[in-house]
Structure 1
Amino acid sequence: MKGECLCGEVRFSVKGELSNFYQCHCTLCRKATGSSANAATFVSEECFHWISGQDNIRSFQKPTGYRNDFCSTCGSSVPNKLRDTGLIWIPAGLLEGVTGSRVAVHLHLSSSATWEQASSSSIRLDDGPNSLASLHEALQRTS
């Protein structure tokens, strides 16, 4: 399986079947993604190969050890080695192609955003909206 960042500068491949994914809802992952959760998995170093763009990767690390590697062109989070574990962390959204993996674990639900709660009245679209105006109108609905 292959994967790449948003601009395509950073590219990688993974040999073999992927493990299932986890979604982390902690504050750090929400801030790093700008979303409700970070979806990712791990693979062994032996199964991971950089194709291109390693020189384009920058890293941010907090004193606590939290680390986010990202493409310096587009800002996408990209894979990184998990300290000295022999594992590579892979953001699920970068992967291309079909996988049998699924989200199997949700972490830090106590930190999840209050706006994340599923609503039976929310609009669900198979594709994007017909226009930005129709999306804006839908966002103004109160129930």
Structure 2
Amino acid sequence: MLTGSCTCGGVAYEVDGTIEGIAHCHCETCRKTHGAAFSSIAAAPRDRFRWTRGEDLLRAYETSLGKLRRFCSRCGSQLVAERVGQPNLMLRLGCLDTPVTAERQWHIWRSDGASWYDPAEVHPEFPEGLSQR
């Protein structure tokens, strides 16, 4: 079972299933709508997905023909994207509450990638924020 929720906690969902693979999308639309270098996503079967809280808070924005991004109208968190009639939704993994691992991961739309981020470069990591020196 997977669970997810928005930043304010007003919207939540469940999925009966597991994450098979994770895509890190660098397309311009994902970068702009998330305000980040990329968006991490995973497919979830529509027939195993359900909203458990706050469905009345959901709004949708069509970013390309037939593709809807669903977000919380209170805090703005993007939770899922979907193409009407398709068997899978795309979970926005930043809103996932369940810890997951996936051996299959890939970066897509690198042709649109942010000029200031390259996933091939290794940078220092810190368990918390930057220390003040």
Q: Could you tell me the TM-score, scaled by structure 1's length?
A: 0.81
Pair 1:22 & 2:43 matched: no
The 8 Å contact of residues 4 and 97 in structure 2, kept in 1 or not, is answered as yes
Q: Which has the larger radius of gyration?
A: 1
Q: Deviations over 1:27-47 (max 9, x none)?
A: 111001100001111111121
Q: Which has the higher strand share?
A: 2
User: How many pairs were matched up?
Assistant: 131
In 1, the alpha carbon distance for the partners of 2:86 and 2:72 equals 23
**Residue 78 of structure 1 corresponds to which residue in structure 2?**
79
Structure 1 regions of 5+ residues with no counterpart? 138-143
Q: Could you tell me the TM-score, scaled by structure 2's length?
A: 0.86
Q: What letter is aligned with 1:39?
A: S
The 8 Å contact of residues 82 and 89 in structure 1, kept in 2 or not, is answered as no
After the TM superposition, which parts of structure 1 deviate over 4 Å for at least 4 consecutive aligned residues? none
Q: Which has the higher helix share?
A: 1
Q: What letter is aligned with 2:62?
A: Q
The 8 Å contact of residues 58 and 72 in structure 2, kept in 1 or not, is answered as yes
Deviation, 1:126, is 1.3
- The verdict on how the C-alpha distance between 1:103 and 1:56 changes in structure 2, with shifts beyond 3 A counting, is farther
The aligned runs of 1:117-136 (5 Å cut-off) are 117=118, 119-120=121-122, 122-130=123-131, 134=132
- SS of match in other structure, 1:55: helix
Structure 2 regions of 5+ residues with no counterpart? none
